[in-house]
């Protein structure tokens, strides 16, 4: 069972992933365990989000991210604002329906990178895609430590 300090491995479609808890530990208020695949978007107070804003964000960040899978759109988390501090236009709401987004949340104290994350028991994890070594070479994975060094 995932906790705040144990990596999690999972598969989406034909891709394999590993998710490592964010450091420092980042938890979400009242997060639903039903949607472990989330996409975070940091926004500004009093910002207006319309369909073109969301589409540009997806094109610029998500579609270029090798980790991204549309499953991560199940839940969108707007970080840095309360619901009352952000205007989401009707066209944006329709686009989220088209993306099959099931839940939109607002986390005013959330300060994580934009993009896909994994959430287990309210703890956010950074997500890394695992690639198959077709020639079966020795591979050593690295990822940033809390101090920014490679582990």
Each residue of 13-35: pLDDT tens digit?
889 999 988 876 676 766 555 58
Region 100-121 average pLDDT: 91
- The pTM for the full model equals 0.81
pLDDT at res. 1: 47
Cis-peptide, bond into residue 24, ω within 30° of zero: yes
Is there a contact between 121 and 33 (Cβ–Cβ < 8 Å)?
Answer: yes
List the single range of 26-30, 48-52, 60-64, 110-114 with lowest mean pLDDT: 26-30
Q: How far apart are CA 6 and CA 19, in angstroms?
A: 9
Phi, then psi, of 79 in degrees rounded to 5 = -95, 145
- Number of H helices and number of E strands within the chain? 2, 9
- The position carrying tokens 């050593």 is 140
């Amino acid at each position: 069972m995932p906790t705040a300090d144990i990596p999690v491995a999972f598969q989406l479609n034909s891709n394999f992933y590993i998710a490592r808890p964010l450091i420092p530990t980042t938890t979400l208020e009242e997060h639903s365990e039903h949607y472990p695949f989330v996409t975070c978007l940091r926004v500004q107070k009093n910002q207006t989000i319309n369909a073109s804003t969301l589409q540009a964000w997806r094109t610029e960040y998500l579609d270029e991210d090798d980790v991204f899978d549309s499953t991560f759109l199940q839940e969108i988390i707007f970080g840095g604002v309360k619901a009352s501090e952000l205007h989401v236009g009707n066209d944006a709401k329709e686009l989220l329906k088209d993306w099959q987004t099931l839940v939109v949340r607002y986390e005013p104290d959330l300060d994580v990178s934009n993009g896909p994350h994994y959430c287990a028991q309210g703890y956010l994890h950074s997500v890394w895609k695992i690639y198959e070594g077709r020639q079966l070479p020795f591979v050593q994975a690295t990822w940033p430590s809390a101090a920014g060094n490679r582990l």
